[in-house]
A and B are shown apart, each in its own frame.
Chain A
């Protein structure tokens, strides 16, 4: 039996061939797998329950950093067609886990505000809860109460709460002066439109997410339309001593035509006051 088994150079040659086949097989399978994985759409899996991460003890902040990187990779790599509602819940859970593990990490709040708040009304509510962790984790930051105020004004349409958080933001160190005046503006006649415009403009400056920036640009243009109408009402009031009965009274002397509102926005003139509304369900 042993005599049948090749010896010397023949055996060596056969072993070399066999080794080459095994190696080539591994490389081929690896490349096929790798290429298949690259074509797979990025998915954001939900995090484990926080207690599992808590067990990591002194490494929990590093775990939070890694979860944040994972979330950023997903947000940066998702395609423009991905429906935000499809990942909103997992995004919320990721941010909640990260803020539980590492409430001092400022990047979470910026990312949460730019990627979660605008998706839907429940997302804005969840976002405010996550941002609340930041009020304790980073109490010196003015941006966190500012974000909560903005969300209340913009997505939850609760100006009273918005004013409270904007005032809080205004009292933090290094808060720009305009934050305080925003809070005042919100409570004045037509101030919500001016304040909304300023808020949106500031939010656009704060965010780096291209998707959110383009959304905000569209919103800002609608607010600019409303501001044009607001200025026409003021001119009408200055000349006539009273406000117009309806918006069409402004045409043609004070306004060539009423601006065409888009993206679910509509102007409402009620009790001689101008309001800018966004239809429910519009992001």
Chain B
């Protein structure tokens, strides 16, 4: 077991270092910070409620940066696999394919978490600064607990998406098909709630509703993990059950996706 943990840690370390030293990742962080700063140009349009647009902007950048990271960096990393051939020197060591899948997932997750943590801290400091510089009526509430909850929910969904990319990579060869299917996955996950709200009210279509519910379980709604609207409101209270359910479902989904990815990697020919 100890040897397996070492394998996972070492693979994760390689993935982390490769991403950390990659100029595009550094560029992504700088771009995000610059975009966050440039957002202030638009704040004149919000005379009454400065907190909400700033909060929207900060979280939207974090969502966007996460998606760019996943769709472009993570998918490329998966292309190391057979397309570029880096998987061969890795698996030529006493490393199992399960170690490989979990190691890559851990490395990508750690890198994404660092990137988001940087943006999250900067975002929170920005909100505190703005709250301190305007009258209380223009920025009445800023909940640290809700900010943390919204931040970790965002991160949970993005880690879930990395697990999905791992699963797709285990089943399909080549980074481009994985990229296309990852986009399709996200598109379905975002569009499905709209379809459900339009079709799901009809009492006569039980079969359709079951299918939509099943699809919703397969393609979790990203908006469920988008809790930025609660950060500045006094109305919502957090309950332990709500938090456990939100993170629990994301965690279990990730476990299932990675489990399947390990199974598929374990069975396939790497050629």
A-side residues, CB < 8 A to B, are: 51, 54-62, 64-65, 68-69, 72, 102, 104-107, 110, 138-140, 174, 208
Contacts and interface: CB of A to CB of B under 8 A. Distances in A.
Interface residues of B, number: 36
A57 B228 CA distance: 12
B198 A105 contact: no
Interface stretch (B44-52, B71-79, B249-257): B44-52
Contact of A58 (B42, B46, B198, B226): B226
Given A69-B45, A107-B49, 8 more contacts: A51-B197, A55-B190, A57-B189, A59-B60, A61-B52, A102-B229, A105-B49, A107-B52
A72 B140 CA distance: 23
Nearest to B198: A51
A85 to B, nearest CB: 25
A60 B46 CA distance: 17
Interface stretch (B96-104, B122-130, B202-210, B232-240): B232-240
Contacts of A140: 140-141, 233-235
Contact of B235 (A64, A72, A139): A139
A56 B190 contact: yes
B60 to A, nearest CB: 4
A78 to B, nearest CB: 16
Nearest to A58: B226
A106 B52 contact: yes
B194 A51 contact: yes
Given A58-B60, A58-B222, A58-B226, A102 B47 contact: no
A58 B151 CA distance: 12
A58 B48 CA distance: 23
B143 interface: no
B190 A57 contact: yes
Given A55-B191, A58-B59, A138-B233, A105 B222 contact: no
22 contacts: A51-B194, A54-B223, A57-B222, A58-B59, A58-B225, A58-B226, A59-B64, A61-B52, A65-B42, A65-B52, A65-B56, A68-B45, A102-B52, A104-B52, A105-B52, A106-B52, A107-B45, A107-B52, A138-B233, A139-B235, A140-B141, A208-B47
A102 B48 contact: no
B49 A106 contact: yes
A228 B46 CA distance: 39
Taking each of B45, B198, B223, which has the highest tally of chain A beta carbons within 10 Å of its own beta carbon? B45
B35 to A, nearest CB: 11
Nearest to A103: B229
Contacts of B221: 57
B232 A104 contact: yes
A107 B191 contact: no
Given A104-B52, A140-B140, A140-B235, A61 B46 contact: no
A204 to B, nearest CB: 16
A65 B225 CA distance: 20
Contacts of B63: 58-59
A105 B46 CA distance: 9
Nearest to B226: A58
